[in-house]
Structure formats: structure tokens, C-alpha cells
Amino acid sequence: MQFADVRRVVGGVPFITPEHALDLYNLILRERPEQILELGIAHGTATCYMAAALEEIGRGKVMAVDLKVAQFRPCAEEQLKRCGLGRYADVVRMQAAADPAQLRMTSVTPSATSRTPVQRCGPTCS
């Protein structure tokens, strides 16, 4: 599916601008990746553009991942179906592991055998 065809189907759906979508589409045509990982897909509009570029090069797959609680209409699955690009993308919906407010970020230094807490920063570091 050509860029203009995808734009006719998903062009009015957020969250990617036509200019960024074209840049992304052309990047995929130029680099010819076999696998693409997309984290956070919202409506799946960018997913459709990436899948279309993969279709044009004749191979590849987008692994589009988002949380189960992320509910957008239209959803990525609907948009891929409308574009006829479902075979070039797998949409994975995951359950969040824990309440993000309760997660503690850690970092590991190459020489360390134990984990060192990293401060989370918001309006002020605590």
C-alpha cells in the first residue's frame, strides 16, 4: 500500500503528523528493516504507515506493543484491518506489571554485584 493510500484511510486519526508519517515511511523504505518494535501505539496510525512501507518492500513485521488499559477508538487492530495490512503487524496488549507509582527504578554498574537505587524525579527529586 502506498503512503497516499494509507493517508486516505488513517490521515485524520492522531497522533502522528503527515510529515512525520512520511519521514517514517521513507526511512523504512530506505533502511529495509525486517523487524520493527513500536512501544506505545495509541490508535495505531504510525503502525499503519510502518506496515505499509514493509508491504512495499515485500517483507517485515511491526511488533506493536501497548498496555491493555490503553483504550483508543479507532484502535490499532481496526485501522490495520481497514488498510488491509494486518499481516505486516502484530499488536500485543500487555498487562502492567505493577502500579507505576510503586515501582523502584534501579541501575546496575558493570563492577557492582548489587543494585543501586536511582532517584525518581518529578517536580522535585525525593
| Domain presence at residue 124 | no
Q: Which of 62, 88, 65, 63 is nearest to 1 (CA)?
A: 88
The mean per-residue pLDDT over the stretch 38-59 comes to 96
Q: Please report which confidence band the pLDDT of residue 102 belongs to, taking 50, 70 and 90 as the band edges.
A: low
Q: For 27, list phi and psi in degrees, rounded to 5.
A: -60, -45
DSSP string, 38-82: EE--TTSHHHHHHHHHHHHHT--EEEEEEETT---SS-HHHHHHH
**Domain tally, the chain:** 1
27 vs 68, residue with greater confidence: 27
Q: What is the pLDDT of residues 54-63, one digit of tens each?
A: 999 999 999 9
What is the CATH classification number for the domain harbouring 15? 3.40.50.150
User: Which domain range does residue 90 map to?
Assistant: 3-96
pLDDT reported for residue 53 = 98
| Domain presence at residue 89 | yes
Residue 105 clears pLDDT 60, i.e. is over it = no
The mean per-residue pLDDT over the stretch 1-18 comes to 92
pLDDT reported for residue 98 = 65
11 vs 126, residue with greater confidence: 11
| Domain presence at residue 41 | yes
Burial 4-33 (b: 16+ CB within 10 A, else e): eebbebbeebeebeeeebeebbeebeeeeb
| Domain presence at residue 106 | no
Q: Please report which confidence band the pLDDT of residue 96 belongs to, taking 50, 70 and 90 as the band edges.
A: confident
